[in-house]
Amino acid sequence: MEQEKERAILVGLQHSNLTDEVFYTSLKELESLADTAGAEVIATLTQKRPSADRVTYIGKGKVDELKAAIEELTPDLIIFDGELSPIQQRNLENLLDTKIIDRTALILDIFALRAKSREGILQVELARLQYKLPRLTGKGMELSRQGGGIGSRGAGEQKLEMDRRHIRRRIDEIKSHMETVQRTRELHRAQRKRTGIPVVSLVGYTNAGKSSLFNKMYSILGNSAVEQVEAENKLFKTLDTTTRKLELESGWEFLLSDTVGFIQNLPHKLVTAFRSTLEETVQADLLLHVIDSSSANRDEQIQTVEDVLEELDALDRPTLKVYNKTDLLEIMPYLGTDGVAVSAATGAGIQQLVDKMEAILFAHSKVYTMRIPYQEAEIMSRLHRLGELIEKRELEEFWEVQVRLSDEDFGRHKAEIEAFLI
């Protein structure tokens, strides 16, 4: 299975509104992405220019320099840290006679390798088709010329060997399928609302430790016999959303979701393709924004995540900032009122996190234990409707129930409820 690594040259263009810091961070991230996609980076070329060249993205002199580097190093592909227009890409391919991909294509490639669920695979296929459509010449000849490897792997790729008309039809097909899936999801969400179990979603920059935290919380609160999600030091390790039910000591339950990570310059088209998944995930009762507090780019990553949340209309959701990987820190970050310091690796701080979650999720409700005689079936059905029934035992003459009720509902039905409290 182990394949020979494709050797890559990276090219970065620093235009005038990019500071050194932003530029080099992005290049470093491109290198991680290339590594995640299975490439070996053999050289990096950079250029400062006020803006990209319309025809070849980088300037003519740089193209010559790149040509010389290609002759000397014979790379398998060149990866540009930016979005190449279809014309720039074609021109560069003709001039350099080497496979050229950009940041978007690289991320799409990683996504294609990672997608496992049927929906995930379809979303990636949609994003790729939308990316490739304007890049097709004739009947897609240039794509077959590229051969396999990075930029053209994963499910759905063979389908790209189609002409424009087929691609458009396939795009419509996937879109309408996704709409159906979304409707089903909305139904499920409504059902979940009715059962009253709150939903908590992990969001955050890719590699922040969301899946590790998911697993840690699960092993502390849940049944650790159930399979864990995969966590690894790779970008976009998680693509599909996993949701599990967890129970707190107090008996309260919530659903916890782990999902795809965010990244700066997440290409636009990808956001569209993943929007329905993300929208669903962020409309939770509580968001845990997981932060790699050991990262040198911590603040930029926090900002990126908040930008994406804003784009998804989720800035108003109750959110806790979860500063993860604190085992790697010597100085603790400033937490503020909505921050918690944890380590998914050691388990430190997880209990404080859970306490804070509990305080937010169940702030305005309490659990009541009641005994309800069997002839009061109407009260039982009302309790079912109003609250979350945590436990229900059938004893000789009555049901004994534990039910969580909001303070508001309790107030409204106080007399009735108090009559049955034990």
Instruction: Convert residues 277-316 into a mask of x (bound to ligand GTP by CB under 6 A) and - (unbound).
Output: ----------------------------------------
Q: Is 114 in the site for Mg ion (CB under 5 A)?
A: no
Our CA angle for 173, 176, 179, nearest 5°, is 150
- Of 130, 75, 131, the C-alpha closest to 103 is 131
- The yes or no reply on residue 212 touching ligand GTP (CB under 6 A) is yes
CB of 348 to ligand GTP, least distance (A): 8
Q: Does 365 interact with ligand GTP (rule: CB under 6 A)?
A: no
User: Which residue among 104, 238, 241, 297 contacts ligand GTP (CB under 6 A)?
Assistant: 238
**Residue number, 35 or 327, with CB nearest to ligand GTP:** 327
Q: Does 324 bind ligand GTP (CB under 6 A)?
A: yes
How far is 37 from 55, CA to CA, in rounded Å? 28
From ligand GTP, Mg ion, none, which one binds at residue 38 (CB under 5 to 8 Å depending on kind)? none
Among 238, 264, 277, 324, the residue binding Mg ion under the rule CB under 5 A is 238
Nearest approach, Cβ of 203 to Mg ion (angstroms)? 11
Task: Report the residue from 320, 344, 353, 361 that binds ligand GTP according to the rule CB under 6 A.
Answer: 344
Give the contact letters, 245-284, x = binds to ligand GTP (CB under 6 A), - = no: ----------------x-----------------------
Shorter beta-carbon distance to ligand GTP: residue 221 or 231: 231
Q: Residue count at the site for ligand GTP (CB under 6 A)?
A: 23
- Nearest to residue 343, comparing CAs of 320, 322, 323, 325? 325
Q: Is 237 in the site for Mg ion (CB under 5 A)?
A: yes
Examine residue 151 and tell whether it contacts ligand GTP (CB under 6 A). no
CB of 390 to Mg ion, least distance (A): 30
Q: Is 244 in the site for ligand GTP (CB under 6 A)?
A: no
**Segment near Mg ion (CB under 5 A); pick from 115-123, 186-194, 235-243, 284-292:** 235-243
Beta sheet of 99-102, edge-to-edge order: 39-48, 6-14, 77-80, 99-102
Partner from Mg ion, ligand GTP, none binding residue 206, C-beta < 5-8 Å depending on class: ligand GTP
Name the minimum Å distance from CB 350 to Mg ion: 17
Q: 401, 383 in Cβ contact below 8 A?
A: yes
Per CB under 6 A, 211 contacts ligand GTP: yes
Residue of the chain from 211, 215, 277, 297 that contacts Mg ion (CB under 5 A): 211
Applying CB under 6 A, the span of 79-87, 188-196, 200-208, 376-384 interacting with ligand GTP comes to: 200-208
47 lines the binding site for ligand GTP (CB under 6 A): no
* C-alpha angle 43-45-48 in degrees, rounded to nearest 5: 165
Per CB under 6 A, does 325 bind ligand GTP? yes
SS (H, E, C) the chain: CCCCCEEEEEEEEECCCCCHHHHHHHHHHHHHHHHHCCEEEEEEEEEECCCCECCCECCHHHHHHHHHHHHHHCCCEEEECCCCCHHHHHHHHHHHCCEEEEHHHHHHHHHHHHCCCHHHHHHHHHHHHHHHHHHCCCCCHHHHHHCCCCCCCCCCCHHHCCCHHHHHHHHHHHHHHHHHHHHHHHHHHHHHHHHCCCEEEEEEECCCCHHHHHHHHHHHHCCCCCCCCCCCCCCCCCCCCEEEEEECCCCCEEEEEECCCECCCCCHHHHHHHHHHHHHHHCCCEEEEEEECCCCCHHHHHHHHHHHHHHCCCCCCCEEEEEECHHHCCCCCCCCCCEEECCCCCCCCHHHHHHHHHHHHCCCEEEEEEEEEHHHHHHHHHHHHHCEEEEEEECCCEEEEEEEEEHHHHHHCHHHHHHHEC
- 231 makes contact with ligand GTP (CB under 6 A): yes
Q: Based on the shown chain and the rule CB under 6 A, indicate whether residue 363 belongs to the binding site for ligand GTP.
A: no
Q: Closest approach of Cβ 92 to ligand GTP, in Å?
A: 30
* Least spacing, CB of residue 262 vs ligand GTP, in Å: 8
Q: Which residue of the chain is nearest ligand GTP when measured via CB?
A: 261
Please report, as ranges, the residues that interact with ligand GTP according to CB under 6 A: 204, 206-212, 231-233, 235-238, 261, 324-325, 327-328, 343-345
